Chain A
């Protein structure tokens, strides 16, 4: 599940990735004509809208792509960098950049591309941007107030407008398509081009422009990966066709004493109840948070058996089903409830005098097992803590 840095790719290797992504970025900007300042400023005089077409297409493609990856459960939106919103510095900084754009004829990214193919004005622009940044750092104490004013945090535009991400993306794509039509008309007028369009070109434009809307509609009407999993579980439960592998309390105690390293004993109740009482060596993963990314290792590994227990049979079964859908691990449920296990082992009733040997043996086994388990738990205290992986939000942006 993305982002792949820093868990799958290290932060060091990330720099190598940056280099190769940069090659793609620079190559495409140059191919699109962003290394030509006349082409860039054409946007502001109406004779060439390449910048708008490339920019809006790229932004829309990436935005819808992010939604698709999220929908398929491939990208954790909670971790990716969202540029924070500082209202005044965004507006003021943006206006100064706009002035720089129309005077200098480049923006930083395009100036790099143009300088790379030998444009002297682009090299001058880069020199200027070095100076500008230096001036900013020197003047920072005086600018600090406005730089930090009106901090709204990492707000997303769809949240701000009270729209769903899909609806927001739909509107942006709609604006893009309308803008493409409008600027093409302006271009044709400014450049005195004929406006006659062949039927074939109209059809091509219409069918390509329809793609983003079709994708967004599919996102809305199909269930996301999470919803799909939950629906499957509901269905399986309603039809009662699932078979659970069960383990008895005595067998569990035996396994814990002899093979504790091959078992994840998982308490799926709430953290409060877990704190109150839990089985020896158990870890706590409340059933509602099982799908959190940090736990996925436990349900996909193939070395340990997961054994679920709860106060009610249904909760343990739900957790076990969920685990079955999430990964390849072997999953069992404990036949007894938490309370039954506690009574059996820590509060056993002595057997009557005339009891058969089996019952007496079981009684003694449980007495001893309870003691041994306590000893084992104390010895393993450090290891029995849950090992949830922590995920940090990624730093990004240009600041």
Chain B
């Protein structure tokens, strides 16, 4: 069984734009992703290390801004939906499989290490930059936010600048 081809990128972009527009029209905010991971981290710290939660400046600020349970946040529910939506799409297109993708000369161990390091950088950067590709760049573009535009240019600019040096990870 072979998997189905991907959707035409412009058509997919059009539908994605409509989902984003519906989100803005209904809720007044954009889509996001990294914020949900933060809510989970906060929730874990709150349960596992309540003393640290009380003391650390970051969590004190968070608690003030989000008086409700960190897990009952908009983004956590949205990301739960994302998992289900992506799974359904993978099911329909016959793409569900436990595997990983990597450059031609990259071992599995290196790929996993790189994914963890990349994830850590992205997670760290998304907190500093107040949102990731979804929350800052894409949603910011839709509402013409200047900050979103700057973040987007920085993300793609930095990735392009580093691409040559990291080509062994992907193409050679």
Contacts and interface: CB of A to CB of B under 8 A. Distances in A.
Interface of A: 2-5, 9, 14-33, 35-39, 41, 43-45, 47, 49-50, 53-63, 65-66, 69, 74-75, 79-87, 89-122, 124-138, 140-141, 143-144, 146-147, 152, 154-160, 165, 168-169, 172, 180, 208, 394-399
B54 interface: no
Nearest to A29: B86
B35 A55 contact: no
Given A56-B13, A82-B145, A91-B154, A3 B28 contact: yes
A18 B16 CA distance: 15
- Give the most central of A9, A55, A135: most B CB within 10 Å: A55
Given A25-B78, A119-B101, 19 more contacts: A22-B82, A41-B163, A61-B20, A66-B143, A82-B144, A89-B130, A94-B154, A94-B158, A104-B121, A106-B122, A108-B132, A117-B89, A119-B100, A129-B37, A131-B123, A134-B41, A143-B128, A396-B30, A396-B32
B123 A136 contact: yes
Contacts of B32: 396-398
Contact of A23 (B35, B82, B150): B82
A21 to B, nearest CB: 5
Interface string B123-159: 1111111111111111111111111111111111111
Contacts of B41: 130, 133-134, 137
B38 to A, nearest CB: 5
Nearest to A75: B25
B80 A22 contact: yes
B131 A398 contact: yes
B12 A109 contact: no
Contact of A93 (B56, B59, B154, B159): B154
Nearest to A42: B170
Contact of A26 (B82, B130, B144, B167): B82
A90 B24 contact: no
Contacts of A126: 37, 119
Nearest to A169: B144
A129 B147 contact: no
Nearest to A51: B9
A23 B115 contact: no
A147 B128 contact: yes
Contact of B158 (A14, A99, A118, A128): A99
28 contacts: A15-B72, A15-B74, A18-B77, A21-B22, A23-B81, A25-B82, A31-B12, A33-B6, A45-B163, A57-B10, A59-B141, A62-B18, A62-B24, A63-B141, A81-B143, A94-B151, A94-B158, A96-B124, A98-B162, A102-B169, A106-B119, A131-B123, A136-B124, A140-B56, A157-B149, A180-B10, A394-B27, A396-B28
Contacts of A47: 171
Nearest to A24: B19
The list of the 9 closest CB pairs from A to B, nearest first, reads A104-B118, A93-B129, A22-B81, A128-B119, A94-B154, A57-B13, A61-B17, A98-B158, A132-B123
A96 B144 contact: no
Contacts of B118: 99-106, 125, 128
A33 B12 CA distance: 9
A116 B86 contact: yes
Given A126-B119, A133-B41, A143-B128, A83 B147 contact: yes
A100 B82 contact: no
A118 B171 CA distance: 23
Nearest to B143: A82
A144 B112 CA distance: 31
Contact of A121 (B80, B95, B101, B154): B101
B115 A140 contact: no
Nearest to A115: B83
A44 B159 contact: yes
B47 to A, nearest CB: 14
A99 to B, nearest CB: 5
B18 A59 contact: no
A22 B78 contact: yes
B33 A109 contact: yes
Contact of B146 (A9, A130, A133, A157): A157
- Give the most central of A37, A45, A121, A141: most B CB within 10 Å: A121
A129 B134 CA distance: 15
Contacts of A103: 114, 117-118, 121, 162, 166, 169
B65 to A, nearest CB: 8
B68 to A, nearest CB: 9
A26 B28 contact: no
A29 B20 CA distance: 12
Given A30-B86, A66-B143, A82-B145, A141 B57 contact: yes
Nearest to A45: B171
A98 B115 contact: no
Contact of B154 (A81, A95, A399): A95
Contacts of A35: 86, 90, 95
Nearest to A119: B100
B78 to A, nearest CB: 4
Contacts of A121: 100-102, 111-112, 115
Given A14-B27, A14-B74, A397-B35, A208 B142 contact: no
